[in-house]
Amino acid sequence: MTARIGVVTFPGTLDDRDTQRAVRLAGAEPVSLWHRDKDLQQVDAVVLPGGFSYGDYLRAGAISRFSPVMESVIAGAKDGLPVLGICNGFQVLTESHLLPGAMLRNNHLHFICRDQKLRVENAATVWTADYEAGQEISIPLKNIDGRYVADEHTLDELEAEGRVVFRYADWNPNGSLRDIAGITNAAGNVVGLMPHPEHAVEPLIGTGRTDGLGFFTSILRKLVNT
């Protein structure tokens, strides 16, 4: 048996097809979910992929969170549905208050696309179980609004509860507080990060590394084993 993983397409989503491919390469079945449709088609997990949903108008992710599909995703996430938000998907998750904090414009004010080194801080979430804590991975980063911010209290709480999942390892590319690249919710089922694991799943393509595949094999293993 395999797992069915939903990939949401908002208007302006860019990485939905790449994410579906990554899900497939990991051995799971991708299911396309449409922003206007509340029906999650009984998927076992959901990925909110990168892009510029609704043109990033108002604020990145600010309009998407009100879309019909997000009503179901938010409700599901609160009931333990595994949800991964990548880049714009991460922004949607913070706008939806499934994850704390917010993303501001990069401190250098430019879009930046690079092969980014990350340190896995928490390998206990359903999306990171195939990594080891402390492991360094390299996956593409590409955004203009990637600077993670939250108030000191929230940051302290994230640190204390081990909810910082990834940190920028070699260089902080956008001014994110405490080098935070990705976080999880208290239950560990919702993870958001700015870099793009779905772009690092095949040798030769992109950076030529497959460091991102672990996200998709982690969730598959978790779902198949439960």
Partner 1 sequence: MSERSERTNEHRMTLDTVKHATETPDTEQPWSELGLKQDEYERIRAILDRRPTGAELAMYSVMWSEHCSYKSSKIHLKQFDEKAPQNDAMLVGIGENAGVVDVGQGYAVTFKVESHNHPSYVEPYQGAATGVGGIVRDILAMGARPVAVMDPLRFGAADHPDTKRVLPGVVAGVGGYGNCLGLPNIGGEVVFDSCYQGNPLVNALCVGVMKHEDIHLAKASGPGNKVILYGARTGGDGIGGVSVLASETFSDTGPTKRPAVQVGDPFQEKLLIECTLEIFREDLVAGIQDLGGAGLSCATSELASAGSGGMRVELDTVPLRDATLSPEEILMSESQERMCAIVEPEKVARFLEICEKWDVIATVIGEVTDGERLEIFWHGEQIVDVPPRTVAHEGPVYERPYARPAWQDALQADDANALPRPVGRDELRASVLALVSSPNQASKAWITDQYDRFVQGNTVLAQPEDSGVVRIDPDTNLGVAVATDGNGRYAKLDPYTGAQLALAEAYRNVATTGAKPLAVSDCLNFGSPEDPAAMWQFAEACRGLADGCLVLGTPVTGGNVSLYNQTGDIAIHPTPVVAVLGVIDDVTRRTPMAFADEGHLLYLLGDTKVELGGSAWSQVAHGHLGGLPPAVDLEREKLLAEILISASRDGMVDAAHDLSDGGLIQAVTESCLRGGLGARLVVPEELDPFVFLFSESAGRAVVAVPRSEELRFTDMCGARGLPATRIGVVDGDSIEVQGQFTLPLAELREAHEGTIPALLA
Pairing of strands 164-168, 180-184: antiparallel
Q: Does 199 bind partner 1 (CB under 8 A)?
A: yes
87 is catalytic: yes
| Binding-site string for partner 1 from residue 149 to residue 188, where x marks contact by CB under 8 A and - marks none | ----------------------------------------
- For residue 77, what are the contacts with CB-CB under 8 A and spacing of at least 6? 83, 98, 185, 189, 190
Q: Does 202 bind partner 1 (CB under 8 A)?
A: yes
Contact with partner 1 (CB under 8 A): which of 152, 204, 225, 226? 204
Interhelix angle 213-225/16-26, nearest 10 degrees: 60
Q: Does 78 bind partner 1 (CB under 8 A)?
A: no
3-state secondary structure of 83: strand
3-state secondary structure of 110: coil
Nearest 5 degrees, angle CA 102-CA 171-CA 175? Answer: 30
In angstroms, give the least distance from the CB of 159 to partner 1.
30
The catalytically annotated residue of 87, 95, 121, 199 is: 87
35 is catalytic: no
Q: Does 59 bind partner 1 (CB under 8 A)?
A: no
3-state secondary structure of 8: strand
113 is catalytic: no
The catalytically annotated residue of 35, 95, 121, 198 is: 198
Pairing of strands 190-193, 4-9: unpaired
Q: Does 145 bind partner 1 (CB under 8 A)?
A: no
In angstroms, give the least distance from the CB of 144 to partner 1.
8
Contact with partner 1 (CB under 8 A): which of 112, 123, 169, 177? 112
Q: Does 142 bind partner 1 (CB under 8 A)?
A: yes
Nearest 5 degrees, angle CA 139-CA 147-CA 113? Answer: 40
Contact with partner 1 (CB under 8 A): which of 58, 75, 187, 205? 205
Question: Cβ distance 116 to 173 under 8 Å?
Answer: yes
In angstroms, give the least distance from the CB of 22 to partner 1.
8
Question: Cβ distance 46 to 81 under 8 Å?
Answer: yes
Q: Which amino acid is at 109?
A: L
Contact with partner 1 (CB under 8 A): which of 7, 15, 166, 211? 15
Could you tell me the CA-to-CA distances from 97 to 90, 106, 177, 189, 190 in Å, in that order? 11, 21, 18, 14, 11
**Residues in touch with partner 1 (CB under 8 A):** 11-12, 14-15, 17-18, 21-22, 51-52, 54-57, 108, 110-114, 140, 142, 144, 196, 198-199, 201-202, 204-207
- The residues that are catalytic are 87, 196, 198
